[in-house]
Amino acid sequence: MMSQAEDRPQSLAARIGLMAVLAGVGALCGYGLSQMFDPRNTTWPDGLATAMGVALIAIGLMSTIVLFTRPSTVPKGCGVLQITVFLLAGIMFLLPMYAPASLAPDMVFGGIVALLAIQTVANVMLWRRADEMLRQVMADTSAIAFWALQTALFLYAAAERLGLVDTISAWAMMGILMAVYLLASIVASARRGMT
């Protein structure tokens, strides 16, 4: 079911301005990420976690723009709760890498636990308010990600046990998990016609 709010008409100048702003933000994010993926500046798990954090925050910000500019295109159950979930996930990915520069690690971890609790409540509320199609997309996403990750983890664990590959940190696995989950979300959404 679609929102009852009416779309606000936008002038051509406003649309061009919005596209210019988004293009500028995209260029800055792309440049920043390219610097972070430089092996001289970071490890690949931190680079992947940064990419996931930035991607989740960008999705949250783009969803906010859509919510305010085209409210009738936002399905019931989405909106503020889904934006909250995306933004919190992105922030939680970035905090372990950047917050210790100004806060003690135990304070950073406590903040992450608090944000995770808030995000969990928002996810449960999102599930309860979502329509059947959005719930099915969430379930499909979880199933696709679970099977892909279970298969990959088993194969990697067997190769590790046989001494064919190096061990991998939990931090690196979390970045991989989120990347697979985002891809699974795209596949599940596309299968249901949500683009």
Q: Could you report the per-residue pLDDT of 93-131, keeping only the tens digit for each?
A: 999 999 999 999 999 999 999 999 999 999 999 888 888
What is the pLDDT averaged over residues 173-186? 91
The per-residue pLDDT for 63 is 83
b/e map of 116-140 (b: 16 or more CB within 10 Å)? Answer: eeebeebbeebeeebeebbeebbeb
- CA pair distance 116, 109, nearest whole angstrom: 10
What is the pLDDT averaged over residues 62-76? 76
The per-residue pLDDT for 192 is 79
Any idea where the domains of the chain sit in the sequence?
1-130, 132-195
Would you place residue 31 in the very low, low, confident or very high pLDDT band (cuts 50, 70, 90)? confident
Counting DSSP H helices and E strands in the chain, the numbers are 6, 0
Crossing angle of the two packed helices 12-36 and 44-69, in degrees rounded to 10: 170
Q: Are 159 and 151 in contact (CB under 8 A)?
A: no
What is the pLDDT averaged over residues 9-16? 76
Q: Could you report the per-residue pLDDT of 142-169, keeping only the tens digit for each?
A: 999 999 999 999 999 999 999 999 999 9
What is the pLDDT averaged over residues 132-151? 91
Number of Cβ within a 10 Å radius of residue 146: 13
- CA pair distance 137, 78, nearest whole angstrom: 12
Q: Which residue reads 């309860």 in tokens?
A: 128
Strand, helix or coil for residue 75: strand
